[in-house]
Amino acid sequence: MQTQARRDRLVEIIRLSGFASLFNLAKEVKVSESTVRRDLDYLEETGVAKRTHGGVFYTGPSPKLPHFDRRQNQQWELKQQIAAAAAEIIQDGETILLDGGSTAYELAQQLVGRPLQVVTNSFPVATLFMTSDIADLVFIGGYVHGKTGVCIGPYARKAIGRLNVERALLSVAGINEQGFYNSNLLLVETEQAMMESADEVIILADSTKFDRSSLAQMCPLADVDTLVVDNQLPQLWQERIKQLGIRLVMAPGN
């Protein structure tokens, strides 16, 4: 098997399983473990995979869902910068809650391989963690929203209401002077339950979301504890956020 064909096959195996051991990968493509190690080094450099003890996790492009396909090229570099900054806030051993937003998914990719207890209502996020032997995963069920792959509605809210997490990290569709917004009523109600379950509420939002609204208001500005944004946030908004007593974390650019 040619090198590129072998690497393509490795990517497909890792993508489908979420995690694969070095031994199984070598067995599947019929080469030595040392050859697979070199291939995995290459895949890690390209951002498709992340090495960990005993194997490799998939960290490539987002799932093939309308929600992700539509956003794949929209401010993706900013989302990755925000995710990297948010990952530095989270400490090993913490219990965190991740929603199904595209920025939250980027954050999940940053966190794979770390010792955490992860609560999520997102199938794409859960897939990243489900084969990890170092992270505990709690999946919240409910009505499945097909475009995003997240569970929302009364069953999800009831399950979330029985939990407590140290940090809830949520994505939004819009931010203005009145507060934070998302585009789905059931999603907003589910995220409000997530906020109530968390000791700290962290919003992940790129600078293009500001001075915009959407269908349903999630909460007023002052109801969140921390806001993680890219470094293109206008100065007026930076001052407004700080005046409200919200911790502002700005991701450095490349």
- Asked if pLDDT for residue 189 goes beyond 90, the answer is yes
Share the mean pLDDT of the chain: 88
| Domains contained in the chain, number | 2
Q: Minimal CA–CA distance to 79: which of 104, 58, 48?
A: 104
* Each residue's pLDDT tens digit, 196-244: 999 999 999 999 999 999 999 999 999 999 999 999 999 999 999 999 9
Q: Note whether 199 and 75 are same-domain residues.
A: yes
pLDDT band for position 70 (cuts 50, 70, 90) = very low
Q: Do 209 and 88 fall within a single domain? A: yes
Q: What is the pLDDT of residues 129-181, one digit of tens each?
A: 876 778 999 999 999 987 788 999 999 999 999 999 999 999 999 999 999 99
Confirm if 121 and 151 have CB atoms less than 8 A apart.
yes
CATH code (residue 201): 3.40.50.1360
Range from 12-26, 39-53, 102-116 carrying the lowest mean pLDDT = 12-26
What's the token pair of residue 36? 């697979």
> 86, 215 in Cβ contact below 8 A?
no
Query: How far apart (Å, rounded) are the C-alpha atoms in residues 211 and 202?
Result: 19
| Range of the structural domain that residue 109 is part of | 66-251
Residue 192 has pLDDT above 60, yes or no: yes
Residues 37 and 80 in one domain: no
Prediction pTM value: 0.77
Q: Which of residues 32, 58, 84 is at a domain's end? A: 58
Least confident interval from 56-70, 114-128, 208-222: 56-70
Residues 6+ positions from 198 with CB-CB distance below 8 Å: 97, 164, 165, 166, 167, 168
Q: Say whether both 178 and 113 belong to one domain.
A: yes
Look up the CATH number of the domain holding residue 11: 1.10.10.10
Instruction: List, in order, residues 6 or more apart from 29 with CB less than 8 Å away.
Output: 1, 6, 9, 10, 36
pLDDT reading at 64 higher than 60: no
Q: What is the CA radius of gyration of the chain?
A: 19
Q: Residue 252 region, left (φ>0) first, then alpha (ψ -120 to 50), else beta?
A: beta
